[in-house]
Structure 1
Amino acid sequence: MSTPTLARPTGKTVKTAIGAAAEMKTIHSAFRRELRLAPALLRSVEHGDRLRAGIVATHLDVLDRFLHHHHTIEDDLLWPKLLERVPVEIAPVVELMEAQHETVADLLTRTVEQRAAWRQDADAERAEHLAAVYTRLHDALVEHLDAEEEHVMPLVEQCITKKEWTKIGKAAQRGTPVKDAPRMLGMLAYDGDPDVMREMLGAVPAPMRSTVLKVGRRAYAKHANRVYGTPTP
């Protein structure tokens, strides 16, 4: 089979010194970490402790909404452009990404339904069932994220313009409630590369980026301490 030729768009692409791939890995790292910790977090709640269940359920609700929004943006703004611009030989990779999104979406539907019931009674058996769903969600998502980073992000850096990537980033920001924004930023910055984080804050004046990151890190540390019992989960 011949090596496919990418349909390059008009304008500069996002293959910069840092690049879209590094930004996406930062977002993915947060999802991997938080979902890996979710099952044990659920099992740590004592049977009948509705106050603690409410804290954990709220954390998982924010995480689930963040993941759903992230995938919705890709479905609406990223995959269609890639399918237009990559040749037939590569299109099935994008189609695989969409199929994996559907699997994750189905599991998210289950977490929402089961979490609502568990929040009400903090039943240990419900928690165990919900933890099992989060384990499946984590495994399915990691498989998807690994494939996306390996096969899709190189295409993004060659086929998506800087303007289009900025539009995707702004859509992500608009979908984040103001009250959640600092802790979500801190969640990304927790183990994110500082240079990548500053690049992701491109809309913020350069002198203010370090301050914004500090605020985000403090917000996440406070949130993590409430949820995990430590600012460094």
Structure 2
Amino acid sequence: MPHRDGMTTSANASSNAPLNAPSHSTANAVRRRAGDPVPDLVTFLVFHSGLRRDFGRLADALDRCAPGDTRRRALIDEHTALLLRALHHHHAGEDDDIWPLLRTLVPEAGPTLDHLEADHQEMDAVIGRLAATGADAAERARDLRSLQTLLRAHLDLEEAEIVPLIREHISAAQWDEIGRKVNKGQGRDLPMVAAWVVDVASPEDREHIFATAPAIMRVLYRLSWRRAYERRMARVFG
């Protein structure tokens, strides 16, 4: 259920950390040995599927929103802001934890990681416009579709070139250590992000997510998170 891919803020955020200090994950880099468990990337890849899907859906929802329907527009903007925070969280964790770890373990991956980091900066410009207030619906829809296009190309490269390196070189224990940060970093967004991930997942992946999630999160999802998410989706997408 929780996003266990290590999407979190920088481990070096403390003001007491020396300049250019290695991230915790890099300082404690553990290379996966042949025969050791492979990192569990199910939720990581399901999260990618949601990013590929939903920014375009939000653009479509804006297209359908009547100009005077301020209540629905506010709901669309609220859900857009949630997904933008989740995307930022995802990119911050890659830049601060996962990519530095791979640079340590697989130095030859450097050029691809440089490309992915440049993609993040390009997307940040679009995200910044979407995070601002006052844009009309048509302008926001264009930016949402632009972000979706950038994301799809970015994720295709990441999954083709970097995901195999994660599976080969990062230990399951190291991956889980990074992943635990997400459970502490999602804050008030965790219920909706967790329900969103479950919604995006295939039946097989959903079963896996439920099987590996903490029991308390499964209970909360069934008692309240799912219903709150479904109510929001009905109002946002109709």
Instruction: State TM-score, norm by structure 1.
Output: 0.79
**Aligned pairs (5 A) from 1:49-128:** 49-88=69-108, 90-113=109-132, 116-118=133-135, 126-128=136-138
**Aligned pairs (5 A) from 1:177-188:** 177-178=187-188, 180-188=189-197
| 1:92 partner amino acid | P
Structure 1 31/99 Cα, relative in aligned 2: closer, same or farther at 3 Å?
Answer: same
| Residue correspondences, number | 205
Quick one: distance in 1 between partners of 2:37 and 2:66? 48
CA shift for structure 1 position 209 = 5.8
Structure 1: runs of 5+ lacking an equivalent? 1-6, 119-125
CA shift for structure 1 position 8 = 7.1
CA shift for structure 1 position 148 = 1.0
Structure 2: runs of 5+ lacking an equivalent? 1-28
CA shift for structure 1 position 10 = 6.1
**Aligned pairs (5 A) from 1:131-170:** 131-170=141-180
Q: Helix, strand or coil for the counterpart of 1:117?
A: coil
CA shift for structure 1 position 146 = 1.3
Quick one: distance in 2 between partners of 1:137 and 1:228? 19
| 2:61 partner amino acid | L
Which string of whole-angstrom CA distances, capped at 9 and with x for unpartnered residues, describes residues 54-108 of structure 1?
A: 11111111111110111101111100010111133x3211111111111111110
Q: Which of structures 1 and 2 has the larger relative contact order (alpha carbons within 8 angstroms, sep 6+)?
A: 2
Structure 1 186/10 Cα, relative in aligned 2: closer, same or farther at 3 Å?
Answer: closer
Quick one: distance in 2 between partners of 1:106 and 1:130? 13
Instruction: State TM-score, norm by structure 2.
Output: 0.77
Which string of whole-angstrom CA distances, capped at 9 and with x for unpartnered residues, describes residues 93-134 of structure 1?
A: 111111111111111011112xx114xxxxxxx211111111
Structure 1 residue runs of 4 or more that deviate by more than 3 Å after TM superposition = 10-14, 208-213
Q: CA RMSD in A?
A: 2.3
